Structure 1
């Protein structure tokens, strides 16, 4: 998988702590940033493909990605 999209994310230069929050409010902050990102779909696909368990990727929380993977497996 080509990862050059990572250089174009809205998250570049931001603290990783934003995307690895410890509460629901933090998740919303990260999701708000992701909504404005041009590479959101590639980011989500990367997280799903690599089964990344933690953080907000492509505007989706850990829980949302787990649900997506379960549905895809069914």
Structure 2
């Protein structure tokens, strides 16, 4: 019978020590990804209807932009969309057309 309260008895010392154990490899993403994409967990759009942020052609963007105005990670969202050339949807409170105009002004 195993003594789970006594680590020495349950795991003899002739086995690999924790520092000699192979590193844990994450199945999805890396810790760096969490730092870069952590803002998405705090985004207000993650708590609302996603269809509002990807309206049909000619559809209204008003509802999505209203949500964006109160979002604490709006700047990170817009920065992500610009860096990754997002071509669809409302990101950081701007439509694809507005993001294109912004890029042209910056370049």
Larger RCO (CA within 8 A; separation ≥ 6): 1
Residues paired across the two proteins, number:
72
Displaced runs of 4 or more, over 6 A: none
1:28-54 CA distance string (max 9 Å, x none): 110000001000000000000001011
1:24 deviates by 4.6
Gap regions ≥5 residues in structure 2: 1-32
1:50-65 aligned within 5 A = 50-65=84-99
1:10-30 CA distance string (max 9 Å, x none): 1113232110012352x1110
1:70 deviates by 1.1
Does residue 15 of structure 1 match 2:49?
yes
Does residue 47 of structure 1 match 2:72?
no
Alignment RMSD: 1.4
TM-score, L = length of structure 1: 0.88
